[in-house]
């Protein structure tokens, strides 16, 4: 953003005395309306009000929740200093001094490298298992954040004691909201495991192998497993374990789940796995051809094979024309969703509340029967949302109503189809439209708005 958000925030702080209610922040009037307040996310306007009105930490977090903003998060370095400031009743000026006195510690915060550039299945498994406690077949979230909160609550007003706390726990700080990332990765792991086990079950019974194998496209294994059908199960599992995740296919499967849509990028991946259209499993072939026939009357009388041939030929011709004009259409074209999935896993982009809930609904629906602890019931989803520091589910909110109704629907797929059709009938974008565009990196945002000097010092 071109505007200096920190300068605007400082002006807001200096003119906060006249603010009486949260409404004055949502719809600013008078002096505040001239300060560019709308360039500052509501979350930081509420924090500014909290300093002016001397809110307790509990009241500030309650205010954030009421306005559907994430609560302060202890494993973000600068938010940890804010939590301490509100616990001790500091003014904004006092927090700024505390920030300056702890800036040198920020330099030693290092991002944990859980994943390589190409994310593999075994790296995902390692991340999930090392951040979980096991009990039977269930994976429980480690209570690391809760333990930090207990330590924070016991600190005195001593700067030296607070600095010692930061130094002792410096490796616990993260550039992402780690709990949301953890739940995203855990349910992705359940989803991938379900596809893997369905494949091996099909191999053992000798039926449905083609369809089960095609469901493994989120892992880049289909081509090799098709070629080496005679490999032992042990060797196949070893290969799968070291395979790379396809963020693009994961996002396209998510897209198809909610919208019945697949991208040409997804079809390209499919054609790499099945160079000959006749080898594509019939059910998958019907799915693609049905989508390609939409708004194409000239495809109506063609067979599924012919439809796929024609559509892919058209795509190739279009790409050739773009290349002839000097472009490079094959990369970064309509891939923002794919990049978001990649960054969610890598921990370089925070997954926002709406995106998290939608991906959890998708992963859980495709994971079959999960252990009772992990089944995505309304109560379980409420627990996850609260654990991530997001506002609780509210049946009066349209999106939350959708999530709760989906989980309780007798036929979730039919409910979803009817809801999407209703939005289309009214020519409206649903709350799922480009939902990943709302995801940001909160560590970067708070540094830019409230601790600008730290954004220049951030470790790479």
Q: What's the confidence (pLDDT) of residue 279?
A: 81
DSSP string, 261-283: ---HHHHHHHHHH-SSGGGS-HH
Residue 139 pairs with which residues in a beta bridge? 134
Residues of the chain predicted below pLDDT 50: 1, 328-333, 455-460
Contact 388, 180 (CB under 8 A): yes
| C-alpha distances out from residue 247 to 39, 123, 260, 349, Å | 32, 14, 18, 14
Q: And the tokens for 174?
A: 């993260």
Query: Which residue, 240, 186, 239, is CA-closest to 218?
Result: 240
The residues, ordered by sequence, that sit 6+ positions from 413 with a Cβ below 8 Å of its Cβ are: none
Q: Is 250 helix (H, G, I), strand (E, B) or coil?
A: helix
Q: What's the confidence (pLDDT) of residue 224?
A: 94
Contact 165, 155 (CB under 8 A): yes
Residue 120 pairs with which residues in a beta bridge? 244
CA dist 357 and 363 (Å) reads: 10
CA dist 242 and 121 (Å) reads: 6
Give residue limits of the domains in the chain.
5-112+135-173+446-457
CA dist 181 and 260 (Å) reads: 26
Q: What's the confidence (pLDDT) of residue 217?
A: 93
Contact 149, 322 (CB under 8 A): no
CA 279 to chain centre: 34
Q: And the tokens for 153?
A: 């609550």
Q: How many CB atoms lie within 10 A of CB 122?
A: 13
Q: What's the confidence (pLDDT) of residue 355?
A: 92
Report pLDDT digits (tens) over 60-99. Answer: 999 999 999 999 998 888 999 999 999 999 999 999 999 9
CA dist 191 and 195 (Å) reads: 7
Query: Which residue, 390, 388, 402, is CA-closest to 431?
Result: 402
Q: What's the confidence (pLDDT) of residue 429?
A: 57
CA dist 393 and 42 (Å) reads: 19
| C-alpha distances out from residue 168 to 75, 126, 172, 299, 454, Å | 13, 25, 9, 65, 20
CA dist 366 and 363 (Å) reads: 5
Q: What's the confidence (pLDDT) of residue 455?
A: 43
């Amino acid at each position: 953003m071109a505007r200096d958000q920190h300068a605007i925030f400082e002006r807001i702080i200096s003119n906060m005395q006249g603010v009486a209610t949260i409404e004055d922040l949502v719809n600013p009037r008078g002096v505040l309306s001239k300060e560019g307040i709308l360039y500052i996310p509501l979350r930081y306007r509420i924090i500014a009000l909290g300093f002016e009105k001397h809110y307790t930490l509990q009241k500030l977090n309650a205010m954030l929740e009421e306005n559907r903003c994430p609560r302060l998060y202890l494993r973000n370095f600068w938010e940890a200093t804010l939590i301490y400031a509100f616990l001790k009743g500091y003014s904004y000026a006092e927090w700024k001094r505390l920030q300056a006195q702890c800036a040198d510690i920020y330099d030693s915060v290092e991002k944990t490298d859980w994943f390589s550039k190409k994310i593999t299945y075994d790296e995902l498994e390692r991340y999930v298992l090392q951040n979980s406690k096991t009990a039977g077949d269930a994976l429980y979230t480690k209570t690391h954040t809760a333990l930090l909160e207990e330590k924070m609550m016991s600190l005195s007003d001593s700067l030296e004691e607070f600095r010692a706390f930061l130094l002792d726990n410096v490796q616990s700080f993260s550039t992402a909201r780690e709990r949301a990332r953890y739940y995203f990765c855990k349910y992705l792991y359940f989803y991938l495991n379900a596809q893997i086990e369905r494949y091996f079950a099909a191999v053992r019974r000798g039926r449905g192998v083609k369809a089960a194998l095609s469901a493994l496209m989120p892992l880049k294994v289909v081509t090799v497993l098709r070629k080496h059908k005679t490999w032992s199960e042990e060797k196949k599992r070893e290969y799968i374990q070291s395979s790379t995740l396809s963020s693009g296919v994961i996002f396209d499967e998510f897209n198809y789940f909610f919208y019945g849509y697949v991208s040409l990028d997804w079809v390209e991946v499919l054609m790499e796995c099945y160079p000959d259209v006749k080898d594509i499993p019939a059910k998958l072939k019907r799915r693609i051809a049905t989508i390609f026939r939409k708004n194409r009357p000239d495809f109506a009388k063609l067979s599924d094979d012919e439809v796929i041939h024609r559509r892919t030929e058209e795509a190739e011709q279009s790409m050739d024309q773009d290349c002839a004009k000097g472009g490079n259409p094959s990369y970064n074209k309509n891939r923002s969703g794919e990049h978001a999935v990649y960054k969610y896993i890598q921990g370089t982009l925070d997954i926002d509340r709406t995106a998290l809930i939608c991906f959890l609904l998708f992963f859980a629906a495709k994971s079959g029967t999960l252990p009772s602890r992990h089944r995505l019931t309304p109560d379980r989803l409420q627990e996850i949302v609260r654990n991530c520091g997001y506002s609780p589910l509210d049946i009066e909110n349209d999106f939350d109503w959708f999530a709760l109704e989906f989980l309780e629907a007798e036929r979730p797929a039919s409910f979803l189809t009817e809801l999407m059709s209703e939005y289309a009938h009214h020519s409206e974008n649903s709350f799922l439209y480009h939902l990943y565009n709302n995801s940001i990196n909160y560590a970067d945002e708070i540094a830019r708005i409230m601790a600008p000097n730290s954004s220049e010092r951030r470790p790479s």
